[in-house]
Amino acid sequence: MKSKLNIGLIGAGRIGKVHGETIAFRVPEASLIAVTDPDAATAQAVAQRCGIPRVCATADEIFADKSIDAVLICSSTNTHADLAIQAALAGKHIFCEKPIDHTLEKIDLALETVTRHKVKMQVGFNRRFDANFARVREAIVSGEIGTPHLIHIISRDPGPPPISYVKVSGGMFLDMTIHDFDMARFLIGDEVTEVYASAGVRVDPEIGKAGDVDTAVILLRFANGVIGTIDNCRQAPYGYDQRVEVLGSKGSIATENVYPNRALVSTAESVRRDLPLNFFMERYLDSFEKELRAFVEAVLADKPTPVTAADGRVPVVMALAAKKSYLEGRPVKLSEVAAEASLETVSR
Ligand SMILES: NC(=O)c1ccc[n+]([C@@H]2O[C@H](COP(=O)([O-])OP(=O)(O)OC[C@H]3O[C@@H](n4cnc5c(N)ncnc54)[C@H](O)[C@@H]3O)[C@@H](O)[C@H]2O)c1
């Protein structure tokens, strides 16, 4: 067994920088060998910060480098599937940020290439590795709260992303809610069969002009009868709001937001505390480390990755169904979206 994994970093924006720093400073079993980003200054800055010896002009140079075992695909969403296919063809193991793509057709092509070339793939659903949500999963698996009946997921960003990001993100359901779709099926341990989405533009009219929504509630129905809600907004003025509650036959389990400290300020006027950790870079730092450690370990020890390529596909089906539900104003079964996708593939 190899003792150290050599990694190429593709994309050095917000999440590329987080993953680069995680590998460089928190995962001694891996080394960053090269980085690429069309924005050369961004790539250079991450290389300098993380001690990466080589800055490549394109991902092709990373794929051609025989010393590189695996890649982290951290580029804009619209590039993921093509890069994953190229990586698989080059025999590189793949950690790919969510979502794999906006279309099932392209995802299926990527998954088929990954399987055919026998490389490992892990998709970036980091929240599964968060200690709070892992505890909720444990309470469900162990039967501590009995048979689950209801799940509520609150997932609100502190503020909207730039419009340039919105335009290539695939829309809120595919970009943001996708984490919550994954969380719902991960926590309940069963598949959602139907979604019913109500959504609108409440935060920024520019998001509406870009053809997207910024606020939504999505009702979920699981195969095992559990009913769920996801509550999303691109703006929560008090910071990143990330909570879950599950009610079961023997009780409930709920998570709180994560705060930078536990101090309470009590005065004659009020009792208050500081705001929660502001965004994913702070709130989910530990989970990013755990997911990358798990990926590195899976490749080095030749074990299955804990979040598989197939786990990356299902939430995309859920997101496409939610979009359809919102546009058509009715509950949509996931089977409708899957059937449409297979028709597309047949008619190609
Ligand atoms: N798991 C999470 O919590 C999480 C958080 C943020 C973003 N993401 C995902 O990560 C991806 C990137 O998001 P971001 O917030 O870092 O965006 P970003 O816009 O900050 O960065 C994207 C970077 O990719 C680069 N890029 C574009 N095409 C490229 C290519 N062909 N090769 C190499 N680099 C390329 C861009 O120049 C840019 O620097 C998105 O798919 C997003 O959904 C995941």
- Alpha-carbon distance of 276 to 329, in angstroms, equals 35
| Chain segment 248-283, per-residue pLDDT in tens | 999 999 999 999 999 999 999 999 999 999 999 899
Q: Is 172 in the same domain as 118?
A: no
Specify burial of residue 226 (Cβ count, 10 A radius: 0-12, 13-18, 19+).
buried
* Cα 269 to averaged position of ligand 1 atoms, centre (Å): 44
Could you tell me the pLDDT band of residue 107, with boundaries at 50, 70 and 90? very high
Whole-number Å distance, alpha carbon 146 to ligand 1 midpoint, is 40
Kindly give the number of the ligand 1 atom that is closest to the alpha carbon of 82: 31
Q: Could you tell me if residue 116 is inside a domain?
A: yes
* Residue 340: pLDDT over 80: no
Q: Is the pLDDT of residue 85 over 60?
A: yes
CA of 16 to the centre of ligand 1 (A): 7
59 close to ligand 1 (CB < 6 Angstrom) = yes
Regarding whether 304 and 271 lie in a shared domain, the answer is no
Cα–ligand 1 centroid distance for 201 (angstroms): 24
181 shares its domain with 248: yes
Q: How many whole angstroms separate alpha carbon 150 and alpha carbon 39?
A: 45
In order of 103, 112, 193, 343, the CA distances from 346 in angstroms are 15, 16, 23, 5
Position 160 in a domain: yes
Residue 341: what pLDDT? 60
Q: Ligand 1: does its nearest atom lie under 6 Å from the Cβ of 36?
A: yes
Does one domain contain both 156 and 134?
yes
Single pTM value for the model: 0.94
Q: What is the CATH number of the domain that holds 39?
A: 3.40.50.720
- Domain co-membership, 80 together with 164: no
Examine the domain organization and report whether 197 and 141 are in the same domain: yes
Contact 175 CB / ligand 1 (< 6 Å): yes
Tokens 């290389």 -> residue: 47
In a domain, 345, yes or no: no
For residue 344, being part of any structural domain is answered with no
132 & 121 share domain: no
In a shared domain, residues 212 and 160: yes
295 located within any domain: yes
Mean pLDDT of the chain: 95
For ligand 1, pick from 14, 73, 157, 175 the residue to mutate: most ligand atoms within 8 Å of CB: 14
- CA nearest neighbour of 106 among 78, 134, 131: 78
Q: Give the CATH number for residue 274.
A: 3.30.360.10
Report yes or no on 165 lying in a domain: yes
Within a domain: 346: no
Q: How confident is the model at residue 160 (pLDDT cuts 50, 70, 90)?
A: very high
pLDDT, one tens digit per residue, over 276-311 is: 999 998 999 999 999 999 999 999 999 999 999 999
Q: In this structure, are 173 and 206 located in the same domain?
A: yes
CA-to-CA distance for 297 and 29, rounded, in angstroms? 8
Range of the structural domain that residue 71 is part of: 5-126+286-308
324 and 301 co-located in one domain? no
Q: What is the 3-state secondary structure (H, E, C) of 172-233?
A: HHHHCHHHHHHHHHHHHCCCEEEEEEEEECCCCHHHHHCCCCCEEEEEEEECCCCEEEEEEE
Percent of the chain having pLDDT more than 90?
93
d(CA 327, CA 317): 15
Q: What is the pLDDT of residues 22-80, one digit of tens each?
A: 999 999 999 999 999 999 999 999 999 999 999 999 999 999 999 999 999 999 989 99
- Which pLDDT score, from 0 to 100, does residue 338 have? 77
For ligand 1, whether the C-beta of 38 sits within 6 Å is yes
Q: What is the largest CA-CA distance in the chain?
A: 70
Q: Looking at the domain assignment, is residue 169 inside a domain?
A: yes
Answer yes or no: do 279 and 300 share one domain: no
The verdict on 156 and 234 lying in the same domain is: yes
The total domain count for the chain is: 2
Closest among 123, 75, 125, 81 to 102, alpha carbons compared: 81
